[in-house]
Structure 1
């Protein structure tokens, strides 16, 4: 069927100009997919059984009461201060739409999570991006505070930051919050919180939420808990803010299988967090090996490492693929490499060494004598 000729319907120019979010590339056969920060472990039996028990001919519980109660108990907050969504990114979209519209601004560091600019544009608001600290890949919180104006409605802080893997310290976050007006919403995006081993990193605890009434914390079951395919995330924050997010949500979007899977994951959390500890240890081994090769790599606190390959990022990703590793090239900034199966590490490091040989002038790579 051909497209009709003549006048076309009028669509928003800013949406037409917006590039759609790109998922990490699928891995060819025999290659390791290290492009999407997925958990490489297969789901545990209890989670599989819980998912299998879900009804598919009935709508899910739209309030997700059972899983919200479990999350509230785990975090020591009232259930009304817990909101769930189809991934934490869905909740972030709801929060942005609830807080910002045409003429409003949303402040965030860049480079950070790829979806941020698109979510802001869809809401009709304006992105205000603040460059990361070049030497460290960390948030420049002082500059972010300086960027807040009377038009600012929301500020995003990603810790650990995707893709650089750096964290915001608790002390720096506390200082930052003293500069944020009380009527501006701050969202602390902690999608990789369970992988953090730095004791100085900020953590979205109930105490932190109580100290800052304009704060919402985002978490997800996609990474540490291995439920990426079920799309389940949650938020902790003030009830009235989460009620506003709930108002903007697509009804019944958190399916029963996701709710049941999340509860089963919480029931077996110790086993799953042991897997996280093993991935974190492997991440640190990879990071040290990269340093030994001569790379300048930020100390990672997520389940990935960041290689600042700059304008050579596309070619660097091709070299990784030639070695059987699919990575995520992010513009002219660098490549993000997930920590996956233990068997992928040798290929990852061989590819990184090859990049050093072929692209010696890449930012973040060692220059040859």
Structure 2
């Protein structure tokens, strides 16, 4: 071990002052881990069989050609307009590094995905955080107004993690009309398959309409492949070529590629599970409303409790009931998990209403 008095390696000060991304806390044996927005269903046999057939002594196909071709056919684009990465967050990192450098700015809503600030800092750029509206949704007008001649990237997250709110198609169309075509817009749709609001934007319907738009999707959530780390981007070839230049080579493993293909082959079964989770989510939200909570109507596979100064106390109540949520400063995000977790969460929420009523004053109005 080095002595405290030993000379220290010079590291970037902005990195040293940046908190690393922290994974959701593990759950005790008698609790439900609802802190990471994971799909609670076990993998289907077809996915397990596909993974088992992988040749892990060989390097994977760096271009994920088979999967890229499958996705290109699905969305009616060229294979070069698809990029497969080790989760959508890794593609986000590569996109930001490809477009933004020191002195440049990246605009995103706040609160939104907690990894965004760190990704921007690593690129050497400056993050511009635009506050969400009182209902916890993106303020796209304010985000467009925050774009300057230094802006290189704007990130739009829908459904927004952690508030579970959506951007509407009409809002997004107006936003894209206001953003200069030289600014890269990233539409982060990691939870798109859980959306039931007919007014929500769907990035896959916008392909080819905007030359500065890249749509991000993942197999982690709806398809239940979080442990394999695989996602993809759809966008102009020259932008994705830049991503391919900034990405870590060979980072998408063969088991991940095989698992994603098997998931697509059995998509109907997996989307039945998504529908079950959506029903569970909506029932849970209605039960919370009946208790007096007015959390944003969720469109992801999670619910946002904006608990303000009572956040730690509410987190402890949830934990006492066997619910491990994700504490994020001014609120708690709770994933929709196993059916058995619902009653426990409702009981915990009822106790908060009784003992910590101030926590409810921070939630959004319907």
TM-score surpassing 0.5? yes
Q: Could you tell me how far apart the structure 2 residues matched to 1:163 and 1:272 are?
A: 23
Aligned to 2:312: 314
2:358 counterpart of 1:357: no
Equivalent residue runs for 1:131-142 within 5 Å? 131-134=131-134, 136-142=135-141
User: Residue 285 of structure 1 corresponds to which residue in structure 2?
Assistant: 283
Compute the displacement of 1:209 (Å): 2.2
Q: 1:342 is matched with which residue: 330, 339, 354? A: 339
Distance 1:365-1:356 versus aligned 2 partners, 3 A rule: farther
In the alignment, structure 1 residue 25 sits paired with structure 2 residue 22: no
Aligned residues: 363
Gaps of 5+ in 1: none
1:65 is aligned to 2:62: no
Moved more, 222-231 or 6-15: 6-15
Tell me how far apart the structure 1 counterparts of residues 360 and 288 of structure 2 sit (CA, whole Å). Answer: 14
Hey, what's the Cα distance between the residues in 1 that align with 2:361 and 2:281?
Answer: 18
The aligned counterpart of 2:98 is: 98
Q: Which stretches of structure 1, 4 residues or more, deviate above 2 A after TM superposition?
A: 1-6, 363-366
8 Å contact 1:294–1:365 — kept in the other structure?
A: no
Partner of 1:182: 181
Q: Which residue of 1 aligns with 2:47?
A: 47
TM-score by length of 1: 0.97
Residues 313/349 of structure 1: CA separation in 2 closer, same or farther (3 Å cut): same
Q: Is 2:353–2:360's contact at 8 Å kept on the other side of the alignment?
A: no
What does 1:213-252 correspond to in 2, within 5 Å? 213-252=211-250
Structure 2: which 5+ runs fail to align?
Answer: none
Answer yes or no: is the 8 Å Cα contact 2:281–2:302 preserved in 1.
yes
Aligned to 1:117: 117
| Cα distance, 1:365–1:183 mapped onto 2, change above 3 Å | closer
What is the CA distance between 1:364 and its match in structure 2?
4.3
Deviation (angstroms), 1:358:
1.8
CA distance in 2, matches of 1:6, 1:27: 39
**Shift of residue 210 of structure 1?**
1.4
Give me the whole-angstrom Cα distance separating, in 1, the residues matched to 2:2 and 2:128: 41
Which digits, 9 at most, give the CA deviation of each residue in 1:85-129, with x for residues without a partner?
110000000000000010000000000000000000000000000
The two structures have a TM-score, normalised by structure 2, of 0.98
The structure-2 alpha-carbon separation of the partners of 1:76 and 1:3, relative to structure 1 and needing over 3 Å to count, comes to: farther
